[in-house]
Chain A
């Protein structure tokens, strides 16, 4: 039997450290917003040059200071973000780039967003986040609606929500780190990835909590910690295996899939891994703690 209760301070400590690091990264580095949130142009070019050369050329020769630059070494494709430009500006810029870096410069993708659209996209992203949190909270309330003793149902719900926050804050913190060191900015895809993580991450917690309730009703003596250990041991294989199948496809997508999906996939990988960890090692010990205090108060 796995004793999550005995080592709960270790497991909760690991989570606390990760959360602290994530909050530190988020507050210190922040999340750089992509052009779909700020407006502007995103140009993907295959150029044989160093990032400094490109950044200097755009700033000094083209008068288009880059708001972000990222480079994929395997394909040699640069993603460059700057203010929104017209097709005419883009054509003349392309001519100058070819003059400077050679005729073999290849345009992979060009995307431009006007400020009015980006404001709306951002608005919608926030609405979607709010609605998903609301929808999942309502669902959690519904899932744990039945009264169960000795643990009241709102505790299951509150802890499930708490782990959901945990599972979202850590990938967001990881993204802030990537944003700072690799010049990646957050876009709609990032928001979608976090929402998908929210959807996935409550699965496992619900499965474990369901089992705890089932075992409570079956058990004669009510030693909650024992029941928690038993329930986690019974469900740990399915928690790990269901997350693993998802992580398997995500990792193949990360390594074999197209460049444009890399960070989207990576965010979900981190979220799913953290979610599997939290359902086993965070949610259940927290339930024990929440109840433990109450029992001693009695």
Chain B
């Protein structure tokens, strides 16, 4: 009796947890307020952009630093789109880095242009080659050292462009200015000479680049006079403030999903999942009667508990393939029950009493249940580590689903069966 009472208690506990999980996973009310579902682009529509980070010519010790500053800049840009939950992630692939930008609910024609066509800023000095010819030489000072830029006006109401450098920027700038006193220093954006004259200026940099009047220490400088207009200074401030990319990036992969088509996919797969689950439950009752009902009960508990686990995984995003993986795991979850019930039938035929036949069924079916799930778990783990993000979701939900199903089919079903069979023996 005591063991039966404890079985009932355990079941009530599991049942209450399942009810709590049910509220937790509901897309409305409580579930939506507390930790709402994160849905992938293929379910809400939007744009995913993958950029390759070009790190050629950069000291490998500085890769991490470069990449994280790149990420910060892209994030600040992405935030301007006003997307609810923009995701900017960096993935290291062998010796390369990739930058992944996910924007829910917006089309890439707006986004890709603004993120992809990002300026790279660098300062260049002029080397006199004689005969009035000059060569433009890149310096170590690039956009990654820019802290801030502003536009102000002098006492004579002329526009003044101010900028501020960070990290080693002030030191590099000091060295550059020291060796260029009385000479010109140019600012290039995207390899184009833009300041302050226009690109079409026939005299080019030699004429219109700002003069270096003195050695500048401390990393603060201003440019004024000459050809500077309010427009050109304003444009430069924007470029500087948006955060210049220290390293160039290249768009290598793009996915753009229409929002209504995505919503349609979501509805369809949820309906398919519910209908599929009901059909499996029906199948179990037809084949195994009352035992089938117990398996169905365990299946429902399995479904809500597993969904709750997915929701609790930090940063977990449910994608279309993720839901597909979970639905497949529902089809497999009752497999363990089938193995147990069939084994129990055999033990009954052999003449065992009902209670010991069930115990024997569970005991003997276990090795088959374990073995039959291991190969799927192997597949899921390998898929998780060796594929792109779209498949990862599938591998994760399938893997977790299969592990959880072993728990539900064996543990929850056994508790329920014990409660029910004890009842029968008591009635006899």
Q: Which residues of A contact B (CB under 8 A)?
A: 44, 87, 90-91, 106-114, 116-117, 120-121, 124-125, 127-128, 131-132, 135-136, 139, 143, 188-189, 192, 195-196, 198-200, 202-204, 206-207, 210, 234-235, 237-238, 241-242, 244-250, 252-253, 255-261, 264-265, 268
Contact = CB atoms under 8 A, between A and B. Distances in A.
Contact of B368 (A113, A206, A261): A206
B338 A238 contact: yes
Interface in B350-377: 367-368, 371-376
B283 interface: yes
A116 B331 CA distance: 37
B330 interface: yes
B280 A124 contact: no
Nearest to A252: B276
Contacts of B268: 256-258
B269 interface: yes
B358 to A, nearest CB: 16
B287 A136 contact: no
A246 B324 contact: no
B331 A111 contact: no
A131 B279 contact: no
B390 interface: yes
A121 B52 CA distance: 15
A248 B279 CA distance: 7
B276 A253 contact: yes
Contacts of B386: 124, 127-128, 131
Contacts of A125: 387
Nearest to B52: A116
A109 B372 contact: no
B356 to A, nearest CB: 19
A251 to B, nearest CB: 8
Nearest to B327: A249
B257 A109 contact: yes
A121 B332 contact: no
B253 interface: yes
Given A207-B371, A245-B332, A252-B279, 6 more contacts: A198-B379, A206-B371, A238-B342, A245-B280, A257-B272, A261-B269
A108 B52 contact: no
A257 B346 CA distance: 38
B378 A135 contact: yes
B396 interface: no
B177 interface: no
A269 to B, nearest CB: 11
B59 interface: no
Contact of B279 (A200, A242, A249): A249
B5 interface: no
Contacts of B50: 117
7 contacts: A87-B254, A106-B258, A195-B379, A242-B335, A246-B328, A247-B331, A253-B324
A206 B372 contact: yes
Contacts of B391: 188-189, 192
Contacts of A245: 280, 283-284, 331-332, 334-335, 338
Nearest to A201: B375
- In the A-B complex, the 7 residue pairs with the smallest Cβ-Cβ separation, listed nearest first, are A199-B379, A249-B331, A203-B372, A249-B276, A252-B276, A258-B265, A256-B272
Q: Give the secondary structure class of A's interface.
A: helix
A256 B271 contact: yes
Given A131-B382, A202-B375, A252-B275, A210 B368 contact: yes
B12 interface: no
Nearest to B329: A249
A249 B346 CA distance: 28
Contact of A87 (B52, B113, B388): B113
Contacts of A114: 52, 251-253
B256 A244 contact: no
Contacts of B346: 234
Given A132-B378, A136-B375, A248 B252 contact: no
Contact of B388 (A121, A131, A238, A256): A121
B95 to A, nearest CB: 12
Contacts of A238: 338-339, 342
A249 B387 contact: no
Nearest to A110: B256
B161 interface: no
B371 A143 contact: yes
A202 B377 CA distance: 12
A32 B368 CA distance: 38
B280 A248 contact: yes
Interface centre among B324, B374, B390 (most CB of A within 10 A): B324
B393 to A, nearest CB: 11
B371 A210 contact: yes
A200 B380 CA distance: 11
Given A111-B256, A249-B328, A188 B388 contact: yes
Interface centre among B255, B284, B338 (most CB of A within 10 A): B338
A206 B253 CA distance: 42
Interface string B185-205: 000000000000000000000
A203 B374 CA distance: 9
B320 A261 contact: yes
Contacts of B42: 260
B374 A139 contact: yes
A107 B280 contact: no
Contacts of B331: 245-250
Contacts of B287: 241
Nearest to B336: A242
A257 B108 CA distance: 26
B174 to A, nearest CB: 40
B209 to A, nearest CB: 32
Contact of A112 (B254, B258, B379): B254
A198 B378 CA distance: 10
A200 B374 CA distance: 10
Given A108-B258, A136-B378, A261-B269, A117 B252 contact: yes
